[in-house]
Amino acid sequence: MKGYSRWQDIRAEYVERAGGEEAVAEGKRKLLAEVPPDDRTADPRGHEKR
């Protein structure tokens, strides 16, 4: 498929641009801290968990 890049093939470039693995991890922690706990466990497709 043309124009398609696998995330694992381009991730290093984005991590470097973000400031390294620690910066990515810190950003993830900050984002997750803003999401209410109930929403973190919800099914992202909008389906109820069984």
Q: Is residue 47 part of a domain?
A: no
Q: Residue 19 is part of which domain span?
A: 7-40
Q: What is the pTM of this model?
A: 0.60
CA distance 40 to 44: 9
Q: What angle do CA 28, 36, 8 make, to 5 degrees?
A: 30
Residue 30's pLDDT is 94
Q: Is residue 46 part of a domain?
A: no
**Domain tally for the chain?**
1
Q: Give, for all 50 residues of the chain, the pLDDT tens digit.
A: 578 999 999 999 999 999 999 999 999 999 988 887 776 666 666 666 55
Q: Is residue 1 part of a domain?
A: no
